[in-house]
Amino acid sequence: MLEVTPHQDLAPALQSNAPLTVELLNLEAAAAYVAQWRHLAETCIEPNIFLDPDFALPAARHIAHKKPPRFLFVWETEASGQRKLVGLFPLAHARPAGRLFAPRIWTHEQAPLGTPLLDGGRAKDALAAVFAYCRTQSKDAGLLFPLLPQEGETARLLREGAAAEDRAIDIFAAHQRACLSAGPDPQHYLEKSVTSNRRRKLKRAHKLLEARGALTFQIATAPDQIRAAAEAFLDLEAKGWKGRRGTAFLKSPERAAFASEIAEKLTIHAKYSVASLNLNGRPLAVGLILKSGHRAFWWKIAYDEAFATYSPGVLLAVELTRVLLTDTTIEMTDSCAQADHPMIDHIWSERMGIADLLVAVDAEYPKKFAAFARRESLRRNLRSHLKAAVLGLRQRLRGATHAPN
């Protein structure tokens, strides 16, 4: 535990005289503060549903159960003596190489965003307290913030703090992904963002499906509706390419338990909904929508591959876009998609910059930080080459399997 007060070296960065305390907690200890954690997740300066306790705790238990994260809790001691949670930073389990790499904020295969939770009134202070903890307790030279929105408030504070203290920042894996801001008229937005040729094809697919029966779009928000719609999603996903690859939720007991738990818990707090495109009651495409504060996250989509020629996923995206643009409680929707996504990038025209930020925690050890940065770059390059080699091997094996005798 580290207590930071205005009498320490962080005084210039602090905005109030209330002391901040940093605690490093394991999974069980962190779960004891779920009420304070949930409040911070709902009121933080930059929403991140993937760090909501009703998402992060199930993920830590089921997905990262062999290497569970630890959590840095930053507390403010109020005049009444009560403690208020003003910052939360999950730390990934140390890599096998140990001290060769900087510690990093924890993300995982189901979390496409790594923004820590920061209280609006003490965000700058909480960041400074965490860096002080890294300097004095763990003796680290850098801290890696993965999947961070580059125009967000957290990235801005990190850049400003580093510039003020002459600390270095290295950027990795910078890319753009689709997002949707509230405000535009849905019809006008879609006419501008979707090409006329694509609109004609979608209109034709829509008519062809209607000729086969009742084509309906719906969003499940009630618990019973969500349960049934979520099961339809899991079934479609398992029957599709993710099922064949073995990465669908139902292909793993751990992932299935995780998906079930977050659906149940987030539904209780109105943070989980399911959008469906149905033909005669049969789901053709299903999307999972999560919500935190004033932001929505299109987390997952699955579609019936037997109807692939009708582009059911794209038709779902168009209908969901209309709903999201007219929802006055949502300021922005994150697509959660990879860069240059073949579907959503042709529907949503806006982009948000995402990158991994390696931030020096102390200006006194530039060589150690530079070594961290070089090793991080080398690790990523090696991983990229390995992925390319594996993909090439898979393609060659697939070609050999389908070659004529």
The model's pLDDT over 229-272, given as tens digits with 9 standing for 90+, comes to 999 999 999 999 999 999 999 999 999 999 999 999 999 999 99
Q: Strand runs (DSSP E) across 293-364, as ranges?
A: 295-303, 332-334, 350-360
Residue 102 near residue 144 (C-beta atoms within 8 A): yes
Q: Are residues 292 and 165 part of one domain?
A: no
pLDDT at 216: 97
Q: Are residues 210 and 109 part of one domain?
A: no
Q: Is residue 341 part of a domain?
A: no
Count of structural domains within the chain: 2
Which residue(s) pair with 20 in the sheet? 4, 76
Show which of 297, 330, 363 is a domain's final residue: 330
% of residues, the chain, pLDDT over 90: 78
Element (H, E) at 165: none
What domain range is 264 assigned to? 183-330
pLDDT at 341: 96
Name the band, by pLDDT with cuts 50, 70 and 90, for residue 383: confident
The Cα–Cα gap between 72 and 69 comes to 10
Mean pLDDT on 13-41: 87
Residue 238 near residue 252 (C-beta atoms within 8 A): no
What CATH code is carried by the domain that includes residue 148?
3.40.630.30
Residue 134 near residue 364 (C-beta atoms within 8 A): no
pLDDT at 81: 84
Write down the pTM of the prediction: 0.90
Of 96 and 292, more confident: 292
Q: Are residues 66 and 136 part of one domain?
A: yes
Q: Are residues 188 and 162 part of one domain?
A: no
Q: Are residues 187 and 155 part of one domain?
A: no
Q: Are residues 89 and 198 part of one domain?
A: no
pLDDT at 70: 96
The Cα–Cα gap between 371 and 322 comes to 48
